[in-house]
Amino acid sequence: MTEAAPVPVVTVSNLIKQFGRFAALRGVTAEFSGGKLYAILGDNGAGKTTLLRTLAGLNQPSSGEILILGTNKFHDICQYVGYMAHPSLLYDEMSGMENLEYFARLYGIASSTRCAQVIRSVGLDPDLDRPVGQYSQGMRQRMSLARALLNDPRILLLDEPFSNVDLHSATEMVRLLVRTRDQGKTLFIVTHQASLLEGAADEFVWMESGKIVGRTRELKRPESAR
């Protein structure tokens, strides 16, 4: 008996995203299975962030289609998606806990226990009273990751989660992300620090000029991407 092919959690068909006359995505077509960690790599301007923002529902495709968990209606599945952007998406004047308590309400999470739990999971102290504006860049990144994890998403979209994070903390973050993947979640991580994900990522997705030009199991730029 042949093994059934895994059902894709994300299907992208001929996705084009234009900003005025500039095409940031030029016909991206791909399928991504569940329970995997995908590292999306490429030079600046390759379209990685645009792809992630489009998957998050923040950019509308100019043409083409995205199916997430079988639907193209983002509003139906947004409670299953977590998104971490390059900026922190946090209020500088509030503490980490206050920020998370507010965002938790948007997802219908009323308990502070969950907020404290995710803050601890990224290695921060939920009782830290300082406003986020006074955090170091690394702490802010980790708090931003905590916000993305808050709703226990099935799909996690992370844009440059390791930027400005020291090596020790970044390694800890990778361990947390691997644990999250092992719980059956699907992760898409845009990063320029690909070496951190060597051995952790299931697949490296290489982008260039708004297209996916290769997918590899190892951290090795494919011939097509050169």
Partner 1 sequence: MSAPTGITRATLLKDLRLEWRSKDAINSMLFFSLLVVVVFSFSFDPSAEESRQIAGGLIWVAFLFAAVVALNQTWAREIRNQVLDAYRVSPAPANSLFIAKTLGNFIFVSVLEALMTPLFVVFYRLRALGPVWQLLLVAALGTWALVVNGTFFAAMSLRTRSREIMLPLLLFPISIPALLAMVQSTTAILNGEGARFWIVLLASYDLVFTTVCLLLFETVLNAE
Q: Which residues contact 121 (CB under 8 A, 6 or more apart)?
A: 146, 149, 176
Residue 108 lies near partner 1 (rule: CB under 8 A):
yes
Per CB under 8 A, the list member of 10, 52, 56, 118 interacting with partner 1 is 56
- Nearest C-alpha neighbor of 186 from the set 202, 205, 197: 202
Contact 32, 8 (CB under 8 A): yes
Contact 36, 203 (CB under 8 A): yes
Cβ proximity to partner 1, 81 vs 187, nearer residue: 81
- Chain CA centroid to CA 93, Å: 25
Per CB under 8 A, the list member of 15, 25, 39, 90 interacting with partner 1 is 90
Residue 59 lies near partner 1 (rule: CB under 8 A):
yes
Give the Cα separation of 161 and 149 in Å (integer): 12
Residue 20 lies near partner 1 (rule: CB under 8 A):
no
Cβ proximity to partner 1, 174 vs 190, nearer residue: 190
The DSSP 8-state label assigned to residue 117 in this structure reads H
Give min distance, CB of 39 to partner 1, in A. 21
Residue 106 lies near partner 1 (rule: CB under 8 A):
yes
> What is the binding site for partner 1 (CB under 8 A)?
56-60, 75, 78-79, 81, 83, 85, 87-94, 98, 102-103, 105-108, 110, 147, 151
